[in-house]
Chains A and B, each alone.
Chain A
């Protein structure tokens, strides 16, 4: 197997471990669960790129 393919498979394996094992485990911790609930309660999508992607804007603009 070529050097490039080995590097590719190593990166894919690392990503599988992080997204398949580490992050799901982290998500079960109390800190992360509380933060997720808090975000949902405030209708916040922290990854929003533009204001139309923020669910809470509907509420804020409706109150105006």
Chain B
């Protein structure tokens, strides 16, 4: 993403300073994109090897014989985020055991995440010849703020109403930057892009292609046919009709509304180098409408008398946030819940393709001068955000291992559930704290003028609701109604 202090309009040619070209080899040693790949790659290798070497001796025999086996990552107890609490925030870190239940000690996992991210990034900063000492001094403060954000998000009332940690992480940062101001000595640890890109490469391992056919063709129809149509239509509408000045803002809103909310917004914003304020605005819009849709859509489905599977598919294809989809589905019943959650999962997997296509479109068409010829392959490669390759590469590699390795599905799931998912959450939480610390409310105001972002969201979501309803009805109510899917 670009610097928050850039003007909202495109930079003029006179502002652009020609940077000396560096070779790919040199980029691999120094740039943030490549270092995000190295850091996340190392985490993924260690996490997978930890599971691989800890499987029981009879694991592969049991798999061959079709027996049920359960495995977990040995790193699980050393990596955690603050847990849920209701009355006392200390419960987020430690809950004493009682009859039959062992004590919950998330504080150990929180410290583990702090040490791993701190050490990894300090080494990366040192090799990249950046201010590693400044990072070591400032990182504990930024990590503490991310922990506070997780504690705020973990309160049971907040958690029950779909208010994700991204919102509270932004709030924590914004409170500081807009009151006492962000101290200069914290700057070396405010590395929004590095945190986001590393988190995204880790997320790649969770984008498992083998999940795509979980609902067969009906699921693909709702999640992978309608979604790209809505995304492209909304983006074109934003450019041609609303004439939104910032293409990246238009793209981030279009993607987070059509694909899957915050996670899609993060991936797209990084791919099209959107400004931090644009990501904050898109996430704010998405979370606000998600809460409304989570309540109203199940009521509409009941009023329309739609079958549970059609209703579930409609919910899964339209509500942005994954958690909110499950809540809305569960209010309709078990079948609607399962269809809704599975459609959303299939749509989640679209993030990888979306990030790649947006990055390719941006370097080939948006970033080129209007009077220049279409850039060649070499130029596209040079400008392409390389972390997207790590994201896609992790997705392909772990999809193959998940589908083809003996017991691979169990090992990959143990790896994700026991370690990489937690670290990915920390990276995103740290990134949102950093965005808050770098954002001044005054910088957000120009984006609200004319209400165009909200009009874009409402129009795009209306199209999404209509097309998804038609496709859900066609797939689950007509063409595949007998298949029992």
Which residues of B are at the interface with A, using a C-beta cutoff of 8 A? Answer: 86-87, 89, 152-153, 155-166, 175-176, 179-181, 203, 206, 211, 214, 260-263, 321-324, 326-327, 330, 337-338, 341-342, 344-345, 348, 413, 416-417, 421, 425, 428
Binary CB contact string for chain A from 23 to 62 against chain B (1 if under 8 A, 0 otherwise): 1101100001001101100101111111111101110110
Contact in complex: A61, B214 (CB < 8 Å) = yes
Query: Of the candidates A4, A35, A48, which one forms a contact with B160 in the assembled complex, judged by CB atoms under 8 Å apart?
Result: A35
In the complex, are the beta carbons of B345 and A51 less than 8 A apart? yes
Known A-B contacts A26-B157, A45-B323; the reply to A11 vs B175 at CB < 8 A is: yes
Contacts of A38 in B (CB 8 A): 330
B interface majority secondary structure: helix
B180→A8 contact, CB < 8 A: yes
Q: How far is the CB of A38 from chain B (nearest CB, A)?
A: 8
How many residues does chain A have at the interface if contact means C-beta atoms less than 8 Å apart? 37
Contact of B341 among A4, A35, A46, A51 (CB under 8 A): A51
Nearest CB of chain B from residue A5's CB, rounded to whole Å: 6
CB pair B157–A50 under 8 Å, yes or no, is: no
> Are the C-beta atoms of A53 and B157 separated by less than 8 Å?
no
**CA distance in complex: A61, B304 (Å):** 29
Knowing A4-B180, A47-B153, A64-B214, say if A54 contacts B160 (CB, 8 Å).
no
Question: How distant is the Cα of A15 from the Cα of B168 in the complex, in angstroms?
Answer: 11
CB-CB under 8 A for A52 and B206, given A8-B176, A35-B160, A64-B214:
yes
Which chain A residues lie closer than 8 Å to B161 at the CB level? 46
B86 touches A46 (CB 8 A): no
Name which residue of chain B comes closest to A51, CB basis: B345
Q: Identify the closest chain B residue to A20 (Cβ).
A: B89
CB atoms of B160 and A36 under 8 A apart: yes
A5 to B86, CA, bound (A): 30
Asked if B166 and A49 make an inter-chain contact with CB atoms under 8 angstroms apart, the answer reads yes
Residues from chain A with Cβ under 8 Å of B87 in the complex = 24, 27
Known: A8-B179, A52-B416, A57-B341. Is A44-B152 also a contact (CB below 8 A)? Answer: no
- Contact present for B337 and A47 (CB under 8 Å): no
